[in-house]
């Protein structure tokens, strides 16, 4: 399947692995890239630029296919060493970067000069247009269904993707609610050039997370996610658990008086305990509504091969078959 995204990134299939905290290690990125998609190392999971440089080098021993780095720009009192991370990306020979969070404009000249293609994750059409205007090569349009941060507009992909198609000149991929061939074909029909999957890739054999995490996704339905931190305008979609219930009760009780400190126990620094140790009630962790469509834990290659084969069948048989001769 050829799309503007496969051509832009030099990949076989129009499937990108989302940048996921404590999931996007070299093993995950390499597995997706080896299967013909675009794997991404999550930059901020590596605490230092030196750590990221080592992870990029490790990934290169596992795949000779294109892979990229996700770098999320967060508002912070003590921000990460973003210039250092950019240097590690460029020195590591990475040619594809997914940016997310705040505007990446100040780092684009250095990336562009090094020949790096930039895809920016957006939850609104106005943000996608801004990304286009500052020189991003592509965008990932993230609907309200997504795991992680869906923004504050609450627009689902059935509306968001056609709106993006109406207004953008650069190519975009669909993110949020993507899990299978139907997701891919629907995304293409709405104007996207491919799809970005996060939660679906956690429930794979190669995902470097605790088996409890994979099983929790398989066991969950589309009704099992919750939105936290809405009062702080930092909304995150997470899988429901005891810690999330406690957090939501705190939010309800404190109302407008809520501060981050009131819920820090349930959200700060919990990822290693969940993803590595399998403590499923340690706190809130990003998970999409798409968990309701995930019923197995295949290898990454089997998953991508299945998606592409079923997508072709959907297009050639089901959709073409509906057209009157």
Q: pLDDT tens for the chain, 325 residues: list them.
A: 999 999 999 999 999 999 999 999 999 999 999 999 999 999 999 999 999 999 999 999 999 999 999 999 987 778 999 999 999 999 999 999 999 999 999 999 999 999 999 999 999 999 999 999 999 999 999 999 999 999 999 999 999 999 999 999 999 999 999 999 999 999 999 999 999 999 999 999 999 999 999 999 999 999 999 999 999 999 999 999 999 999 999 999 999 999 999 999 999 999 999 999 999 999 999 999 999 999 999 999 999 999 999 999 999 999 999 998 7
Contact predicate 289/145, CB 8 Å: yes
Q: Are strands 39-42 and 195-197 parallel, antiparallel or unpaired?
A: unpaired
Distances (CA, A) of 154 to 46, 202, 204, 236: 31, 24, 29, 12
Taking residue 101's Cβ as centre, other Cβ atoms within 10 Å add up to: 14
Residue among 136, 141, 144 nearest 118 (CA)? 136
Contact predicate 129/172, CB 8 Å: no
With residues binned 3-state (H G I as helix, E B as strand, rest as coil), the percentages for the chain, rounded to 5, are: 45, 15, 40
The 10 Å CB-count burial string (b at 16+, else e) for 19-51 is bbbbbbbbbbbbbbbbbbbbbbbbbbbbeebee
So what's the pLDDT on residue 77? 78
Beta bridge partners of 147: none
Burial of 256 (0-12, 13-18, 19+ CB in 10 A): exposed
Angle at 28 between CA 22 and CA 31, to 5 degrees: 180
- DSSP-derived letter for residue 122 is E
So what's the pLDDT on residue 250? 98
So what's the pLDDT on residue 324? 83
Residue among 58, 16, 255 nearest 8 (CA)? 16
């Amino acid at each position: 399947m050829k799309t503007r995204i496969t051509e832009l990134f030099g990949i076989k299939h129009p499937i990108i692995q989302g940048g996921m905290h404590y999931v996007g290690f070299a093993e995950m990125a390499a597995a997706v890239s080896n299967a013909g998609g675009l794997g991404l190392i999550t930059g901020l999971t590596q605490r230092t630029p030196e750590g990221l440089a080592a992870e990029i080098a490790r990934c290169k021993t596992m795949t000779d296919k294109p892979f990229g780095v996700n770098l999320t720009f967060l508002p912070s009192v003590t921000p990460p060493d973003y210039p250092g991370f950019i240097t590690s990306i460029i020195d590591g020979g990475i040619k594809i970067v997914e940016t997310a969070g705040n505007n990446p404009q100040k780092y684009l000249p250095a990336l562009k000069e090094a020949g790096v293609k930039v895809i920016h994750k957006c939850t609104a059409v106005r943000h996608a247009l801004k990304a286009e205007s500052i020189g991003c090569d592509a965008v990932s349009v993230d609907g309200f269904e997504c795991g992680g941060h869906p923004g504050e507009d609450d627009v689902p992909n059935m509306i968001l993707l056609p709106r993006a198609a109406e207004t953008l000149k650069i190519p975009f991929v669909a993110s949020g609610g993507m899990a299978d061939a139907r997701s891919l074909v629907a995304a293409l029909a709405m104007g996207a050039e491919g799809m970005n999957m996060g939660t679906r890739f956690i429930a794979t054999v190669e995902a470097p997370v605790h088996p409890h995490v994979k099983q929790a996704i398989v066991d969950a339905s589309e009704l099992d996610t919750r939105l936290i931190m809405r009062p702080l305008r930092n909304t995150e979609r997470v899988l429901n658990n005891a810690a999330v219930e406690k957090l939501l009760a705190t939010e309800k009780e404190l109302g407008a008086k809520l501060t981050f400190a009131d819920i820090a126990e349930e959200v700060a620094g919990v990822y290693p305990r969940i993803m590595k140790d399998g403590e499923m009630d340690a706190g809130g962790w990003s998970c999409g509504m798409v968990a309701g469509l995930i019923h197995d834990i295949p290898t990454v290659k089997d998953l991508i091969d299945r998606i592409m084969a079923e997508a072709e069948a959907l297009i050639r048989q089901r959709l073409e078959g509906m057209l009157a001769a």
